[in-house]
Amino acid sequence: MSTAPVIHLRHSSTVLPVVGSEQRVPTLLGEWLDVANFDHGASTPALLAVADAVERASTTYSSVHRGKGWNSRVSSALYEAARAEVATFVGAREDDEVIFTRNTTDSFNLLARALPRDTTVIVFETEHHATLLPWPARNTVRLPVPASVADAEALLRTGLKETAHLRGPRLVILNGASNVTGEYWPLDRLVPIARRAGARIALDAAQLAPHAPLDLAALDVDWIAFSGHKLYAPYGAGVLAGRRDWLDKAAPYLSGGGATATVTTQGTTWQTGPARHEAGSPNVLGAIALAAACATLREHRRLVTHREEDLTERLVEGLRAIDGVETFSIFGEDHDRAPVVSFVIDGLEPGLVSAALSAEHAIAVRDGKFCAHLLVDALLEDAGVEARSAVRVSAGLANTDEHIERLLNAVESLATRGPRAAYHVVEGEGWVPVEDPRDLSVTLPW
């Protein structure tokens, strides 16, 4: 695979080129500006290297594993090479397996279906709904939002102690990085606690994988899950990687072709390994896209890390310096984080803030509770603010230095003077400009 060109740091456009970086959109003020995309936490644009890999693979796209034609053999080889690339990216151990899924939510629902009977799941209420909700309610222990790293340790010890008498294995769900605050979870402190209690560990790496190296062995976790659409590969693929024993003993996640070894009138014998849970025609191009993203980020990890450290520092310090802006954290303001910050502006509804940033400044952010309702509610209550939701800024490789300055200037302007235009709430859409001269009709791409 060709190496993506690298453009160096602080006064650069981007570290690695992404699709759509030259897109310009109209504002209410009549300007055409390039999009300042601060919604990486929801979905990232594709790296050009990833889009190129998909385009090349499309020329030989065909069915995998069962076809005898040349293109089928090529596609099968690419699909399994993608699995091997992802295994390298996550530091898979010799007996680990990599299963391609649709996304992180799909991965954790698959794991939930594979739990042995009487498994007790221990999970913090800080979690994204994808890792909070899939587990059987009667066998799940939820730990409250911690107030500090030490509190998180104490809560986990208590949860493990109170479940020590229960029959069956225990599974602890941990997060790599919060999708609300961007903070890196203290895995080096929490994983040993779970291990000493004999529990297994599943790691939500959806927000960690774009920002930091993954290594199943070094992290000492049993499973890891993440999504391509948060890793600059938005082509509909995700991953569950880790120990095979529970997965090989569980009923197939989907029943159908590819998962079967034999089917007779007497019954069905199922495959073991990844095929057991990948029934049906797989998302070959999605898997290739994900592998291309893994390979590109792994090759350029040092440059990406340096750039994101710069983005994080400027975002956090810049937003905290604005009067009337309240930012949030779980473990304390000095805790290490990815370039993700959630905030509110005094007196302005978060939905209005995000609408004004978009319409007046071509800045894309997200408002709401970010599929982490329990955490956002706790943070808002602890801060004593009146808002019932927040605004999230999540930066990444699509952002330039000008985007950072534009965002900070726009937030300061909103905090000082409010929006320039009038907005109202439209059912099903939220806050929108009262008068919008822009042509919002969508041109279909087909």
Catalytic sites, residue numbers: 371
Q: How far is CA 22 from CA 3, 28, 164, 355, 416, in A?
A: 21, 20, 56, 22, 31
Q: How far is CA 336 from CA 260, 309, 369, in A?
A: 46, 10, 22
Cα–Cα distance measured from residue 251 to residue 142, given in angstroms and rounded to the nearest whole number? 26
Cα–Cα distance measured from residue 164 to residue 11, given in angstroms and rounded to the nearest whole number? 54
| Three-state secondary structure call for residue 243 | strand
Half-sphere exposure of residue 113, counting CA atoms within 13 Å on the CB side? Answer: 16
| Three-state secondary structure call for residue 327 | strand
- 48-58 helix and 284-299 helix, angle to the nearest 10 degrees: 140
Cα–Cα distance measured from residue 351 to residue 366, given in angstroms and rounded to the nearest whole number? 8
Neighbours of 192 (CB within 10 A): 12
In the chain, the amino acid numbered 10 is R
Q: Which residues pair with 244 in a beta bridge?
A: none
Q: Which residues pair with 269 in a beta bridge?
A: 262
Q: Which residues pair with 32 in a beta bridge?
A: 26
